[in-house]
Structure 1
Amino acid sequence: MTNDFYCDYVLNHKIEVEKVYETENVLAYYHTRPSYKVHIVVIPKKHIPSLTDIHPDDKWILTELMNIIQKVAAKVEQDFGACRVITNLGDYQESKHLHWHIVSGERF
């Protein structure tokens, strides 16, 4: 196993997730261990280690990711009044797969 929960479990269907939005290249789903009342994760289906590791040939995926993040965040903001969009890097990034958290409410 690698240190990539998303490739190892989510994208390999070893764990069931509740999907929020999905395209051919991007998946948004409710976090399996939420830290907030609303906690959604958005990932590319292609393995990219982090925001700072995107290869120039893969920059196109940022457009699709941002479009999905924008749609999901707009819905969370509409439903709950506010949200945060977070990505972590380096030691803050537990799973080495590019991902964003869309969260709302107090942290548990």
Structure 2
Amino acid sequence: MSEDFYCEEVLSGNTPVRKVWETERVLAYYHTRPYYEVHIVVIPKRHIASLLTVEEADADLLIEMVDVVKKVASQLVSEYGACRVMTNLGEYQDSKHLHWHVFFGKQIRE
């Protein structure tokens, strides 16, 4: 996998995605290789390496991202009754671009 799949593939248009929600600065879409039955990824359209590198100047963008995560999570809870929201850090973070996973259901791959 590339160091930043989201910038290099998704945001560049090289890998087409099925959008769930979009604002001027945030994109939510169905994971291209889902780990769960329903698996949505929320990313900023501007590169931020991870939650650990968010700076004070990113506050408005972070609030907007959380708002999109909330909207997507609300849709899943409304439809399925539950969901999980997760972000990975360090070695757990395959793509070095801030993102949240919003998902429901059984794990379908490891």
Q: What TM bracket, shorter-length normalisation?
A: over 0.9
| Consecutive unaligned residues in structure 2, runs of 5 or more | none
Give the Cα–Cα distance (whole angstroms) in 2 for the partners of residues 78 and 44 of structure 1: 24
Aligned residue number for residue 75 of structure 1: 75
Aligned residues, how many? 108
Shift of 1:60: 1.3
Give the Cα–Cα distance (whole angstroms) in 2 for the partners of residues 5 and 52 of structure 1: 18
User: TM-score scaled by structure 1?
Assistant: 0.97
Shift of 1:81: 1.0
Which amino acid is the alignment partner of residue 85 of structure 1? V
Give the Cα–Cα distance (whole angstroms) in 1 for the partners of residues 15 and 77 of structure 2: 28
How big is the alpha-carbon RMSD for the aligned residues of Structure 1 and Structure 2? 1.2
Question: Can you list the C-alpha shifts for 1:65-93, whole angstroms capped at 9, x where unaligned?
Answer: 01100000000011011100000000000
1:23 and 2:20 matched: no
| Higher mean C-alpha displacement, 42-51 vs 1-10 | 1-10
Aligned residue number for residue 84 of structure 2: 84
Which amino acid is the alignment partner of residue 10 of structure 1? V
Q: The residue matched to 2:101 in structure 1 has which SS?
A: strand
Question: Can you list the C-alpha shifts for 1:37-60, whole angstroms capped at 9, x where unaligned?
Answer: 100000000000000101221121
Give the Cα–Cα distance (whole angstroms) in 1 for the partners of residues 85 and 12 of structure 2: 25
Aligned residue number for residue 49 of structure 2: 49
Name the % identity: 56
Aligned residue number for residue 94 of structure 2: 94
Shift of 1:27: 0.1
| Consecutive unaligned residues in structure 1, runs of 5 or more | none
Shift of 1:97: 0.1
Q: The residue matched to 1:46 in structure 2 has which SS?
A: coil
Shift of 1:2: 5.4
